Structure 1
């Protein structure tokens, strides 16, 4: 159902969203054994051999930006999920934008409303793309990470950015069986989203100094966040390596 909002301020829309019913899909971080090693792959790895020997793999759905598709997603996801002894997760790139149409009907000038729609629809587009190219295999996919990085374009207004992110979170949380998480660094998160601290959303933290940098497990993206995994860029292997907390 679509709802008409008239002259919404940021605080008014925030209150409405907080009051809306949420589908709780949070799962224990124990779905991965603490210390388990993983990797992540996406469109930059198209045409390369898939990395073996990891307990979990995170596969990028989008092609670096929202509303795009990783052209290799079907093959990469099929490979990752094909090993029943390996956990598979996915991630979706986000950036800033506005859309007057979506779950909310926005008036001209209702920037926060339109930012929320943009994020919600970006997550929906990624979910639909993943299901289409895998013939529905990703309907069983539980963990969906939202990639929030300064490499993509964001508004100078951190409150607007937070509404984009909240929209994407809401789509995923309202999808049965899905847990939404956020990938970033605490520095990038502060630059993009300020003090925004979504409740109950797990963190995947980039910028580790190695695969044994367990201090990152206590370095959440925002106050009160729970870190599920951290990422180390292995330049020697030209590969992202991840460790479960």
Structure 2
């Protein structure tokens, strides 16, 4: 891992690429691809700006200096939680392709919540993340974060191909740097919303209206760069996916044992817990969380052996 000084320099370079020399003004989101993955759609209109503090240097420094309290280890137990993101924002917020739905927030039995940082694709912020952080804080929940990663458009790639530790003069190096820059963007989004999660789960799946390339090796380069971006920011990294979707995006790519959050769809907690078994691994890592959908809500549960080690993934939020 690079030194803090080197990492700060890299993140400053990423910020410069994203800010385009705007000083303290909010940075514009790089252009995002809009190749339909499902029904045909019109070309992507200009994306909204992200709201970040004017003191961007301090925000970048905070990437290397987490100050939040931690969750102590304890006996293993089954812990119920949930996840929420842009679909739970008030109706009509966000980019045109991913307008929020006003979906219900988690139920009262949730002890933790994993909050989405993106409004679908990379480089687009969850439009009500700060409100969702405040919601979790008012309920004294444990909180973590996840972020969707997506394929960079040619315009985005041109902007950020050198904004990272890889050789931007090579095809795969530029793609790695695009993922790295997306991670830096999401870290700033998270910090600006007042969330100091110790970890980010990288969501790897097809993104409707923002299609991945046909090359799983190229897609894997973006995903790898994203994961490194979070690690270089001092954060733990896990992956969220399911075997069929993982394979569609990155093929047979393995992660060297990176922990996994596994989806079971509209099933039950029992089915979700069964996904914790090693046979359900998609990247070669252990199962930490399992998700199922019930009554229109994403529900989550810790996998066996993980309920006593929540401090790796969550921060306690207090009113």
> What is the TM-score normalised by the length of structure 2?
0.61
Identify the residue that residue 246 of structure 2 maps to in structure 1: 189
CA distance in structure 2 between the partners assigned to 1:211 and 1:233 by the alignment: 9
When structure 1 is superposed on structure 2, of 212-221 and 59-68 the one drifting more is: 212-221
Q: Does 2:276 align with 1:217?
A: yes
- Asked if 1:70 corresponds to 2:126, the answer is yes
- Counterpart of 1:169? 227
Task: Tell me which of 98, 101, 123 is aligned to 2:162.
Answer: 101
Deviation at 1:78, TM superposition (A): 2.0
Whole-angstrom CA distance in 2 between matches of 1:60 and 1:206: 15
Contact 2:198 2:236 (C-alpha < 8 Å) held by counterparts: yes
Residue 88 of structure 2: which of 39, 45, 70 is its match? 45
Asked if the contact 2:238–2:261 (Cα under 8 Å) also holds between the matched residues in 1, the reply is yes
Q: Deviations over 1:141-173 (max 9, x none)?
A: 112111111134211111111111111110111
Matched residues, number = 211
Please report the RMSD computed on the Cα atoms of aligned residues, expressed in angstroms.
2.5
Give the conservation status (yes or no) of the 8 Å contact 1:32–1:87: no
How do residues 1-245 of structure 1 correspond to structure 2 at under 5 angstroms? 33-47=76-90, 48=102, 50-51=105-106, 52-84=108-140, 86-97=141-152, 98=157, 99-103=160-164, 104-107=166-169, 110-132=170-192, 134=193, 137-138=194-195, 140-152=196-208, 153-176=211-234, 178-208=235-265, 209-213=267-271, 214-218=273-277, 219-222=280-283, 224-234=284-294, 237-245=295-303
Higher Cα Rg, which structure: 2
Change (3 A) 1:173 1:82: farther
Following TM superposition, by how much is the alpha carbon of 1:75 offset from its aligned partner in structure 2, in angstroms?
Answer: 0.8
Partner Cα distance (1:82, 1:166) in 2: 35
> Deviation at 1:105?
4.4
Say whether the 8 Å CA contact 2:121–2:207 is kept in structure 1. Answer: no
The CA deviation at 1:130 is 1.7
Structure 1 position 200, deviation (Å): 3.5
Q: 4+ residue runs of structure 1 moved beyond 3 angstroms?
A: 30-34, 81-84
Residue 10 of structure 1 is matched in structure 2 by: none
How much has 1:33 moved relative to structure 2? Answer: 4.9
Q: TM-score, length-normalised on structure 1?
A: 0.78
Q: Is the 8 A contact 1:205 1:227 kept in 2?
A: yes
Q: Would you say the 8 A contact 1:232–1:240 is kept in 2?
A: yes
1:36-88 CA distance string (max 9 Å, x none): 1111111111135532220111111110111001111001012224444x321
Q: Secondary structure at the match of 1:217?
A: coil
Unaligned runs of 5+ in 2: 1-5, 11-70, 91-101, 304-319
Relative to structure 1, is the Cα distance of residues 141 and 31 closer, same or farther in structure 2, using a 3 angstrom cutoff?
farther
Q: CA 1:32–1:181 in 2, change beyond 3 Å: closer, same or farther?
A: farther
